[in-house]
Structure 1
């Protein structure tokens, strides 16, 4: 067919209408949503336009039924395609999929609020168990654990390195097992087993038992973060997910605050039954996680449909949950919650060069704050502070961390910007790192506390990056793996931060302070280059796309073998 023939076949469509259709279809793709109606054309322009999912909440009044422009299944052919896809994939909630189902915006808000109180809250509780057991080592160190076990600073570094390597090693296998077995079964198993190992650290006798305990705890804990990301994405829309993810890390920081306060009391048990305080710390906090893990066997459910059986939601409410998520991203129903990740999908995620820019952020972004956080107890004890004073002085940087985390995540979603908001982190940190490096010799104890608190409590962009990876993956089938890969890279960065401060560099750690300054400074040009890269990729695709005729665009959308973020009509978040 010539260009003239194509123009004739579309003679009933105005240029502006055609442009609207193309732009709208690209909008669908940019949100990771697909509508592949093989070898079919829309019957008319209005039908094509109805395929589009609008993000404009102003179209819906508080008490009106949901506006149909938010429903990509209005077109019967689209609905039939996905209904068949959900049946083929044995999507566990497929019987509640209803293209014609409507609900009010007010009902939608009530549902989200209830999800926050049940699903998000329990996800935070599970994160509590994770952070309680992996984050209590600084409190143990403040109680002279190193001296009691005859360990050096380098042994402490090795223990942290072993922990991070094992956490990193287990990340992908854990995510694959969880997807295959089901998160509702695998996560409780994880929590129960690692809590037992964590509690048994009360029996440590030397560096080798310390290394072994760190290795086992890390390997059993690995994968939980990626599993919780996928778990939450089952219940929330893409734009609702980042702030819920930020709640996880807010929880993590709150646990550190609570853990520091709790440690003040537990560590006073030193001498009770002949045990040091840090032994009681491991035993008590490991036991708390054990109870959370046992509770997870009841609270974690295979799919949203189980919410009815638990009595937490009515069937009508569950139907809203399922359909609102599918209309936001229809691909969320193209897999079963017991389906595994194939080797081919795993390799595809590792080789996806368009995600490596975000992975590179995870490698270096948290090294400066992580290194400082790891060594605050050692620095404070080196200043002659007591165990009580050290743990009390840890609290302010946790509070600062929570404040920054919530506000920077909200700002990112409000501005719909990732890189330009994340760049606030190095802009904030670089002057502080320069000051700490150049004035470390002359700072008083109060000055050291103030600057180290400001550094370790700095802007935390982890929630932004996790949601960024999810959005730029372009496929629900690969999001769990890409989240695991990102977290794996973050753990690799953690290995770097765990070895910044060395025994031969104490007590002032000039070399270590120089290293975190260099790494913190490197984040600034990295984020700028990533912003440029995704903008360039989008503009290049837009140029090619706009050079295609309307019919070529339509044929590409419905017939191209390109998938996910490799499609010409997919647009990256930047």
Structure 2
């Protein structure tokens, strides 16, 4: 995207809410770098996109597939086979989210010490093994153990990958790339429903129920993709030598590596630190910042409603009279639509340089569609009611994805960015703990109380986002006023 703002405006919009505004243009000589790549940068950026984004998004695809396939499994016979009910399944979901939350920050500390390629690849193999062995559980305790182990293995992957991604791009490029990374999650939610619909047809083959086939095949798929990821992901910004090259070749020429490293250093000189050390003081300092915690609470509240709805969407569709296979296939439709919705919002964020209003717009969609779903008569035809369910799922988790990009822009140091990303992803997983208890067995099939709860949560998150938008707007105007006043004083003194 074209940088249509002056340096001063970017300092105010992206950093200057609590820092002194710099009103002089940036100078390449300040960093010992001469910018000599004006006609080459866009081509290099596209090349980074083609190499980095598909690789990371594919790994995210696996993560979402392995933790989200429980919604498809619920339409099979797992409750009968293990002698449990959906409330007990919800406890497993809570344990998975708890495992992710507990391992989120420790995982990022380890990643900063040993490097993204080694740690993220190891995580892929670890959760792939756990996901695969879920196919062989015989009891409820075994189910609970595999769910919390899956959470421990997956914890930290999303903020770690986001931090790694941010080291390759300038700030004004981050919103769209963050959204493209999250496409892996969204594509998994849509496509895994279709895969699960096909795997359910194998029920009874080789003495295995349909849900066991889902766990087995999707877990093995993760292990295969883990090999692909490990061999092809670049080790660090500007270093295009993947493991498969054995150091003999690189994705990038020396000239391209020069441009990749120096363009991000001109945008943010603090990225020169490379691997960083995160201390407990960095975590404490980040936790004490009200604006970061406001972002965290926006995700926590908005995602609680989303997590509850999305886990039970296939079951709600099945209750309309569709069989399990068709219910899972129909679940994928609104998620594919959400990819288009998120693309439009992300492009608007990068084009306008503002992110808060589009977070608010995404939550507004949730408020309206959830209320429509709650108030729609249960006597409507099944296709009419399915349409209402689909519309309620179109926004998907776009508010969370945009909120991540919004927060990332305002982080001042690499340590703060790494910790803040971990906190907001922890919030999303804490939402999984609370959200998994919204739809209860006793509330089926109408889920009146559950739908009321997600409407309330959407309304509360709208209020939180509106307050934060207003705060940023007021502080931005104040910072611009202070900058203008400083400019007048400098002019007077120079005369």
2:137 to 193, 204, 215: 204
Count, aligned residues: 475
1:226-375 counterparts in 2 under 5 A?
Answer: 226-307=159-240, 309=247, 310-333=249-272, 335-337=273-275, 339-375=276-312
Residues 377, 390 of structure 1: 8 Å contact kept: yes
The answer as to whether partners of 1:180 and 1:341 remain within 8 angstroms in 2 is no
Contact 2:12 2:480 in 1 (8 A): no
Per the TM alignment, residue 547 of structure 1 is displaced from its structure 2 partner at its CA by 6.7
Query: Deviations along 1:399-422, whole A, 9 cap, x unmatched?
Result: 121111111111222222222222
User: Which of the numbers 454, 473, 489 marks the counterpart of 2:427?
Assistant: 489
Which segment drifts farther, 180-189 or 299-308? 299-308
CA distance in 1, matches of 2:378, 2:238: 61
- From 437, 450, 471, the equivalent of 2:387 is 450
- What is the CA-CA distance between 1:548 and the residue it aligns to? 6.5
The structural deviation recorded for 1:430 is 2.7
Shift of the 395–164 alpha-carbon distance from structure 1 to 2, 3 Å rule, reads same
| Separation (CA, whole Å) in 1 of partners of 2:467 and 2:95 | 33
Structure 2 equivalent of residue 224 of structure 1? 157
> What are the ranges of 5 or more consecutive residues in structure 1 without an aligned counterpart?
1-22, 37-47, 54-71, 81-98, 553-574
Matched position secondary structure for 1:138:
helix
The answer (yes or no) to whether the contact 1:369–1:457 under 8 Å persists in 2 is no
Partner of 1:435: 372
2:37 maps to what in 1?
Answer: 103
Equivalent residues of 2:277, 2:415 under 8 A apart: no
Q: Which segments of 5 or more consecutive residues in structure 2 lack a partner in the other structure? A: 1-5, 242-246, 491-495
CA–CA separation in structure 1 for the residues paired with 2:234 and 2:363:
40
- 1:70-85 equivalences in 2 (<5 Å): 72-74=27-29, 78-79=30-31
- After the TM superposition, which of the residue ranges 415-424 and 542-551 deviates more from structure 2? 542-551
Is contact 2:65–2:188 with CA below 8 Å preserved after alignment? yes
* The structure with more radius of gyration: 1
Q: State whether structure 2 residue 472 is matched by structure 1 residue 534.
A: yes
2-side partners of 1:529 and 1:31: how far apart? 18
CA contact (8 A) 1:370 1:456 kept: no
1:520 to 454, 458, 461: 458
Native 8 Å contact 1:32 1:329 kept in 2: no
Q: Give the corresponding residue for 2:92.
A: 159
Matches of 1:238 and 1:24, distance apart in 2 = 12
* 8 Å Cα contact 1:408/1:461 also seen in 2: no
Considering only aligned residues, what root-mean-square deviation do their CA atoms show, in Å? 2.5
Check the 8 A contact 2:369/2:392 in 1, yes or no: yes
Separation of aligned partners in 1, 2:309 and 2:432: 12
